[in-house]
Structure 1
Amino acid sequence: MTSGTTAPASRTTDAAAEPGTAERTPDEQAADHTRRLTAAGVHTVAVTWVDNAGITRVKAVPARRLGQTAQHGVGFAAIFDRALGDDSFAPGGTPDGDLRLRADLTRLTALTAPAGWAWAPGDRHEQSGEPAPTCQRSFLRRAARRAAERGLTVRAGFETEWTVSLKGDPDEPRPACGGPAYGMARLLEMAGYLAEVHAALDAHGVEVLQLHPEYAPGQFEVSTAPADPVGAADDAVLVRETIRAVSQRHGLVPSFGPVVGPDEVGSGRHLHLSLWRDGHNLCAGGDGPGGMTGDCAAFLAGVLRELPALLALGAPAPASYLRLRPSRWAGAYHCWGVENREAALRFVCPGDLTGANAELKCFDGAANPYLLVGAVIEAGLAGVAEHLTLPPPVTGDPHSRPDRPPRLPVSLAESLDALRGSAPLRAALGEPLFAAVEAVRAAEDAQAARLSPERLAHTTRHRY
């Protein structure tokens, strides 16, 4: 990933970016969007949010009702804050209450697949119109605003890994291709599919930096350009659903789960971020380790300190800990390193100093990207406020060192305990959101206790 100060390419239907639209009323702007969607053959808009179990939930509305959906929203039961990945609910929820899911028209995107559809992320509001305290996207927006109040700008981007299998027996998935990791043979075998993935992302306004075969059988990775925090999380959602649609069109079954099988190398969704002030990248040009500035070092020290707790948000599924194993480049140890791919926090310092950034390798696709990025920002801001310093960087494989650093949590139960004990994250999340996250994690951990590793991998393979 490289980091820059410019935003990604404008969205296909982003009328708000056009001159003069700021003076137009919401009704007039929505009417403009509707006309453009109709001209493009779009009849329905999927409005999404991501729940605490990492599932992308949706309400679909006719394009002609887009303005009403943006201003007043559509109903979504409040109990879904406690929804689990199997569509049951954690204890503590009730059937009472309703939230309003409002479409964000600044990210409205006409989709290339499926035909006739558009997508927009949603924010959840109370009936009164106030942002819901459990809305993860609003939480991320607040975290970014808190950084801005301290003169700091965060840029973020994700690397999304996924596997593709042939349709068949779901208990025995067969990789859709052969060939070695990073191998040209695998790329050529899937060239038509990957070209369509790239073309669809480009049409959706998502800038691709890299697209290549990964380590596990049938596995690929796409890296997208950095954006503002909310935009980066939106991109993560759109990337996944784009890949899903293109895969289905090719007769393939995509998996974004942490693991396909309990003994295989898993799929991560690594988070990259950089810290800026007044147009300058604070990850470079300093006299700290790797050339980082003092503010950058303090920010990353805060993230590193809270990493065990952050795992409950970034590796939030019981199956996540089947992936999080030593010597697999998953970041299983509580340490950081300069260009060390086995460290949980890898500091990236390429020749182009504007591209210096930090990569968090221990996170995966079960995470809610809004919740995760917001929590990482809050952990970093706590580090800046407390003037924390980084420990010495780790070189080589931590697992083989005589002075081996401590492991990160090896189960969801351990990371949940760490989250419960994190004062900065609990305060930042607020009690309603924290309580909902805690209930979901505890319930999913209890469910997983009854499953073998094989069944655990199977039940979550195609959940996300």
Structure 2
Amino acid sequence: MTTLADPVPGGRPGDVERATALGGELSGHGVHGVVLAYVDTAGIGRVKTVPTAKLPAAAAWGVGMSPVFDTFLAHDAIVTTDVLGSPDGDLRLYPDLDHLAVLAAQPGWAWAPVDRITQEGAPHPACGRTVLRRITAEAAERYGVTFKAAIEVEWAVGRDDAPDGAFVPAVSGPAYGATRQVELSDCAAELLAALAAQGVEVDQFHPEYAAGQFEVSVGALDPVAAADRSVLVRQTIRAVGRRHGMRVSFAPAVTAGEVGNGGHLHLSVWRDGASLHAGGTGRYGMSAEAESFTAGVLARLPALTAVTAPSPASHLRLRPSRWAGAFTAWGREAREAALRVITGTAGVREQAANLEVKPVDLAANPYLALACVIAAGLDGMARAAPLPAEVTGDPALLDAAEAEARGVRRLPGSLAASVEAFRADPVLRTALGPVLADAVIAVRRGECRAVEGLDEDRVAAAYRWVY
């Protein structure tokens, strides 16, 4: 369960005492330091660490970090807004002790996600974790709904001795092949053990389509915990890969012209312990509210890509006929549609039914991605938005007239176009608030400038080892 209360100077009730007890337990297990982790606007995981003995002080008074990181680009250049990007000021990072985990693949270390507050004790308006927690709390209060969410993690394993930042797959077996699983057997077994030791429920692990690519699917949690889990899973995959002499890339496009790494988002809406995606009178068992939620997400997909596919490399992946969901379409188990309605197998549909959002990759800040998708869906619910007819097969094969008649549009073909759609979308900008929305725009525009004049191969290479 995610802590719902914002941090406060001096610590939330019981936090300091709990941190003191945890610190003693951690030290007894040979843990010397705690990683305090968050994700910036560009989708990069940033950290500070403290010795284990300082965990109570961190729970009481936080750990300092500059707000300038909210306008860092993926390659650490800095842009500015009217509020952010200055070298002045400070924030406090507060660990969420509910989600502290001992890092099984990094002996001597533990890990915890953080919320960020100002020195005066107010929530930092650019903290994506705080924004997501606020949106889910408001949904419970206004609509009486909660959510279950999970984020798929795809990555490519490369040889660590490859020259000049090149990607040379560390395995050679075919897509989804048993050979590839055998080639990664020891590393994969250690990964599953590490995730289990950290309390991460793994649903499945398998080789994927692209060269050297794998995927892990994890159990659903509340949205904040699901985003935390995504960050922890990637930290663990990277650490295990390093222990086996491999380099890991979560980049949307490891190699130009090939299928990239996705971070498909799974989401379901619940009320009073029952899923709105099963047992209803709508299509495929959806309730009217689930249909409207889906319609809300569908309507805002072009603007959503500014947060779900936020890198120039994202648009090397977000191409038609690659199962990336490049068109505004939905369908039951339709893997080319941007929204895949999953009903689950007969007998478990009440638990398994969910909405998969496919134009999402792991350059996305998972807190911002979930916050914006939920905001779009809730707007659809509030408007009782009608869900259009489903589209099956490959939307790219529709002729122009039929696509227009069915409301099927190509998602933005560039990051610049995504940013303009986001800038013009009042629902998403309101959900994030003006400070964070402006940071999203400034960072995305900065990334666009950073790749001006680069061909696709050089764009892929520029972001290959950043994510």
- Whether these two folds match at TM > 0.5 is yes
Query: Which residues in structure 2 correspond to 1:61-460 (within 5 Å)?
Result: 61-92=50-81, 93-149=85-141, 150-167=143-160, 168-351=162-345, 352-353=348-349, 354-402=351-399, 403-404=402-403, 405-460=408-463
Measured in 1, the distance between the counterparts of 2:72 and 2:273 equals 41
Q: Which runs of 4+ in 1 moved over 3 A?
A: none
Measured in 1, the distance between the counterparts of 2:430 and 2:13 equals 38
* 8 Å contact from structure 1 (residues 147, 154) kept in 2: no
Residue 261 and residue 24 in structure 1: after superposition, are their counterparts in 2 closer, same or farther (change >3 A)? closer
Tell me which amino acid in the other structure corresponds to 2:438: A
Cα deviation, residue 169, structure 1: 1.3
Partner SS, residue 88 of structure 1: coil
Q: Which residue of 2 aligns with 1:17?
A: none
Deviates further, 205-214 or 177-186: 177-186
> What TM-score comes out, normalization by structure 2 length?
0.93
Residue 438 and residue 24 in structure 1: after superposition, are their counterparts in 2 closer, same or farther (change >3 A)? closer
Cα deviation, residue 25, structure 1: 3.1
* 8 Å contact from structure 2 (residues 65, 92) kept in 1: yes
Cα deviation, residue 67, structure 1: 1.1
Measured in 2, the distance between the counterparts of 1:377 and 1:104 equals 22
Cα deviation, residue 30, structure 1: 1.2
Q: Percent identity?
A: 51
* 8 Å contact from structure 2 (residues 16, 59) kept in 1: no
* 8 Å contact from structure 2 (residues 338, 357) kept in 1: yes
Measured in 2, the distance between the counterparts of 1:392 and 1:69 equals 52
Tell me which amino acid in the other structure corresponds to 2:368: L
Q: Which residue of 2 aligns with 1:19?
A: none
Cα deviation, residue 24, structure 1: 7.5
Measured in 2, the distance between the counterparts of 1:395 and 1:68 equals 55
* 8 Å contact from structure 1 (residues 154, 273) kept in 2: yes
Q: Which of these residues, 23, 36, 48, is aligned with residue 34 of structure 1? A: 23
* 8 Å contact from structure 2 (residues 297, 380) kept in 1: yes
* 8 Å contact from structure 2 (residues 148, 267) kept in 1: yes
Q: Which residue of 1 aligns with 2:6?
A: none
Cα deviation, residue 141, structure 1: 0.1
* 8 Å contact from structure 1 (residues 348, 357) kept in 2: yes
Structure 2 gap ranges (5+): 4-11
Deviations 1:431-463 (A, max 9, x none): 111111111011111111232211110110111
Partner SS, residue 142 of structure 1: helix
* 8 Å contact from structure 1 (residues 42, 116) kept in 2: yes
Measured in 2, the distance between the counterparts of 1:432 and 1:293 equals 35
Cα deviation, residue 171, structure 1: 4.3
Residue 243 and residue 179 in structure 1: after superposition, are their counterparts in 2 closer, same or farther (change >3 A)? same
Measured in 1, the distance between the counterparts of 2:183 and 2:461 equals 26
Tell me which amino acid in the other structure corresponds to 2:159: L
Deviations 1:31-70 (A, max 9, x none): 1100110011001001011000000000010110101112
> What TM-score comes out, normalization by structure 1 length?
0.94
How many residue pairs match? The answer is 446
